[in-house]
Amino acid sequence: MHEWPLVIFTLLMQLAIGCVLTAWYCQSFALRELDGSQRLSVVRPALLCALAVGGIGLLASMAHLGNPMHALYTLNHVASSWMSREILFTALFMGLLFLTVVVMLMKKTLPAPLVALTALVGLADIFVMSAIYDNSRFILWQGWGTYAGFYGSALMMGSLLAVVCMQSSLRKCTDDGGASLMSPLFQLYILGFLLASLAIVAMLATSAPNLAVGISVRTAAANVGALTLGRCVLLIGALLMLVNGVVKKRQALPCSMLALALVVTIAAELLGRYAFFSLGG
């Protein structure tokens, strides 16, 4: 499997998009009781982290392209190529995120419309990213499962990363130490978990009959079933960590617990993404 740059690029870009989406969701709904300066101090670390993660993802994509100039050439085919659209929307997302961070740091205020626009473009980027594989010639990548898996990854990883970044400031700005944010976090994570679960079901339903007729011999060699099982176990483990804090304790989880859940979720999605690209040989 020679697609490690794509594994890293798709995971990190979806992580960055999910982080921005969570930051927008929190500052628009979950943090409305805070004043502007408090929301800025809470959301700022998440946006800075998303920019850094997205930048690393871009570097990984360059490793896949080989020559960065190839990205410019592919933009000539935006009307007909999903890959060209992916490059365009990824560039738009990163450009808007960079502009958001610059405005935030220079004006010392949170540009809410820019954050919302960046999140919207990020969601479109994930759609385009998914469409590349849905419209490929390989049958095991086709279908709604790819869209569900990519959006699920973004929501699960991004929601945890954003809250890990915001936790310290939340404890200073809120009386409950950020416990009020646990419910919105849990909702986003659950939505991502459900989408990821649907993607796993779709993948297994599609791959089993095709393997039986010998469409993909390489799939069996890649141990896709074992990788998927490992992913499921890790995701359930991360989910139980959040359930323990949100449902039973009903208080803000320790940052160490949130960080552990984030690491476990990223590890699970790494296994899942490796299995996904292994399906394509």
Q: Where are the domains of the chain?
A: 3-279
Q: Report if pTM > 0.85.
A: yes
Domain 3-279, CATH number (from 3.40.190.10, 1.20.1630.10, 3.40.50.720, 1.10.460.10): 1.20.1630.10
DSSP H helical segments within 82-223, as ranges?
A: 82-107, 112-134, 144-173, 182-212, 217-221
Q: Comparing C-alpha atoms, which of 250, 263, 148, 120 is closest to residue 206? A: 148
Mention every residue, 6+ apart, whose C-beta is less than 8 A from residue 82.
128, 131, 132, 135
Q: Would you give per-residue pLDDT tens digits along the chain (281 residues)? A: 457 888 999 999 999 999 999 999 988 887 777 777 888 888 999 999 999 999 999 888 777 565 555 555 555 656 667 788 888 999 999 999 999 999 999 998 889 999 999 999 999 999 999 999 888 777 778 888 899 999 999 999 999 999 899 887 777 776 666 666 777 788 899 999 999 999 888 877 766 565 545 545 454 445 777 888 899 999 999 998 888 766 655 556 678 888 999 999 999 999 999 888 887 65
